Amino acid sequence: MSGKVGQTPSQTLGPYFAIRIATLDEWRLPLPEGAERIVITGKVLDSDDDPVGDAMVETWQANPAGRYNHPDDQRDLELVEEFSGFARAKTEFETGEYRIETVKPGAVPDPEGEPQAPHISVIVQARGMLNPVFTRLYFSDEPEANEHDLVMQRVPKDRRHTVIAELVSGSDPVEYRFDIKLQGENETVFFDV
Amino acid sequence: MSKMIIRHYGPRAYPDHPPFDYPAYKSTIKRNPRQDLLSIVETLTESTGPGPVWTEIVGEDADLTTNAGTSGQAIGERIIVTGQVLDENGNGIPNTVLEIWQANAAGRYVHWRETNLNAPLDPNFIGVGQCITDEDGTYRFTTVKPGPYPWGNHPNAWRPAHIHFSLFGNSLGSRLVTQMYFEGDPLLALDPIYNSPPEHSRTRMVAKYDHDVTQEAWATGWRWDIVLRGEESMVEVAE
């Protein structure tokens, strides 16, 4: 079904979005009271496993109570006003590494009312990408919740590892690694969002 | 009242957007996913998004001719760029942020990776700004017209003058990053990025000169509407 007026086409972010990012500081979300800090790090990689050094990684997530800071979410769960749930990071030019400091989201129900596994939505754009790609980040220390997650169940088993961030053992603050592979072997699962 | 609203939008209009794989723009070659996108069960995660809360955070900074904070005026052809942010039903989207970034009038960005070093910097121009739509979805920037600039995609390649726009809309799926071009630019026909969407939709990225927007003895006016994905097919309210 198409609307009355056509969507404006997508175009690449180009190499210079950093001039925008430099005016803001969005990679670290505020820490809600009583919540534990987690750090998401990883690389954005191209088909040759070379670093994509000019990507933008954006994340959207619920707060620790499982509520989104959005007018459509009016459930009786704690809303942490200062926790927007949105973070944005650039990748480092030499390494393709990004870093986001946030908290683990609480579970959000699926359309059948069952809890989804804790997850963070991720949008990746870069020079050389004419459209954004959307994926989800799940957590390696939630194997049971991941197994029962409605969206995860649609991901072929041999590709599920591409959407699971790996807990770095002994890390303090708790760190999860989440590489994003744009093309080729171990290509990240991207969703039609 | 405890409830959540799940809006189901029509699809991203893939036939109107560029393909992921577009070899004429060389940088796409190693960066386009080859696997099919996986369909998703739309949940509250996808029907919400950072748009509304982001608007509260970022505030307005819509005059790029003065926002370098130097108390000087940016050099170049002063322009007003205005239009509406619309959903696919043609309804204005109020209170949403547009972020823009662009080259200066000489075709140079304020960025360490800039390669167009033959072009001068302008100390009174940083090339970034944001504004928030009013209740009709109307936005309005004052800036200078960006210059075209050379790039390395092919011999004697020049990007047409353009302004980068970034919008969130109300849901994750309405995210849009695009570029606005200027009507009548002879470089459009030669630019692989502009030509990456199909012919029927690429003209939606072109701003038109509008004499009603032009302000006497001050700035010329350009009009450009932006349409985000967002035709609601069904709204579910769950207690």
Ranges of chain B whose pLDDT falls below 70: 1, 232-234, 239
Interface residue of B7, B30, B55 to substitute, partner A, most A CBs within 10 Å: B30
Predicted pLDDT at A3: 62
Among candidate residues B159, B181, B194, B229, the one labeled active-site is B159
Q: How many CA atoms lie within 13 A of A137 on its CB side?
A: 28
Mean pLDDT of all residues in A160-180: 97
User: Do A130 and B18 count as a contact with CB atoms less than 8 A apart?
Assistant: yes
CA distance B73 to B110: 16
User: Do B176 and A10 count as a contact with CB atoms less than 8 A apart?
Assistant: yes
Q: Which of B182, B57, B81 is nearest to B139 (CA)?
A: B81
Between the alpha carbon of residue A123 and those of residues A21, A134, A191, B57, B209, the distances in Å are 15, 5, 10, 20, 34
User: Do A116 and B30 count as a contact with CB atoms less than 8 A apart?
Assistant: no
> Which residue ranges form the domains of chain A, and what is each CATH number?
18-181 (2.60.130.10)
Chain A residues with beta carbon closer than 8 angstroms to that of B101: 16-17, 19-20
CB B105 within 8 A of CB B76: yes
Chain B residues with beta carbon closer than 8 angstroms to that of A121: 45-46, 172
User: Do A68 and B226 count as a contact with CB atoms less than 8 A apart?
Assistant: no
Per-chain mean pLDDT for chain B: 94
Answer positive or negative: Cα dihedral of B23, B28, B34, B35: negative
**What does the DSSP assignment read for A109-125?**
B-TTSPBPPPEEEEEEE
User: Do B44 and A23 count as a contact with CB atoms less than 8 A apart?
Assistant: no
Model pTM score: 0.96
CB A121 within 8 A of CB B172: yes
Is residue B17 among the annotated active site residues? Answer: no
> Distance, in angstroms, between B217 CA and closest chain A CA?
31
CA distance B231 to B11: 9
Cis omega (within 30 of 0) for bond into A30? no
Confidence of residue A1 (pLDDT cuts 50, 70, 90): very low
Predicted pLDDT at B4: 87
The per-residue pLDDT for range B175-192, each reduced to its tens digit, is 999 999 999 999 999 999
Domain ranges of chain B: 50-228
Which residues have a Cβ under 8 Å from the Cβ of A25 and sit 6 or more positions away? none
CA distance A118 to A137: 9
CA distance A55 to A126: 4
Predicted pLDDT at B96: 95
Q: Which CATH number fits domain B50-228: 3.90.580.10, 3.40.50.2300, 2.60.130.10, 2.40.110.10?
A: 2.60.130.10
The per-residue pLDDT for range A41-75, each reduced to its tens digit, is 999 999 999 999 999 999 999 999 999 999 999 99
Among candidate residues B8, B17, B140, B164, the one labeled active-site is B164
Complex ipTM above 0.85? Answer: yes
- Confirm or reject contact between A40 and chain B (CB < 8 A): no
Which residues have a Cβ under 8 Å from the Cβ of A169 and sit 6 or more positions away? none
> What is the amino acid identity at position A93?
F
CA distance B22 to B26: 8
Which residues have a Cβ under 8 Å from the Cβ of A76 and sit 6 or more positions away? B2
Tokens describing residue B65 = 């001719």
Chain A residues with beta carbon closer than 8 angstroms to that of B234: none
CA distance A112 to A108: 11
Q: Which of A10, A36, A34 is nearest to A176 (CA)?
A: A36
Answer positive or negative: Cα dihedral of B221, B219, B181, B227: negative
Per-chain mean pLDDT for chain A: 95
pLDDT at A98 over 70: yes
Tell me the pairing of strands B138-144 and B78-86.
antiparallel
**What does the DSSP assignment read for B43-87?**
-HHHH--SHHHHHHHH--B-BTTTTTSSSSPPPS-EEEEEEEEE-
Mean pLDDT of all residues in A11-20: 90
Window 129-188 of A, Cβ < 8 Å to B: 129-134, 136, 150-151, 154-155, 182-184, 187-188
Which residues have a Cβ under 8 Å from the Cβ of A6 and sit 6 or more positions away? B13, B16, B88, B201, B204, B227
Mean pLDDT of all residues in A114-130: 97
DSSP designation for B165: E
CA distance A70 to A36: 22
Tokens describing residue B142 = 């004052």
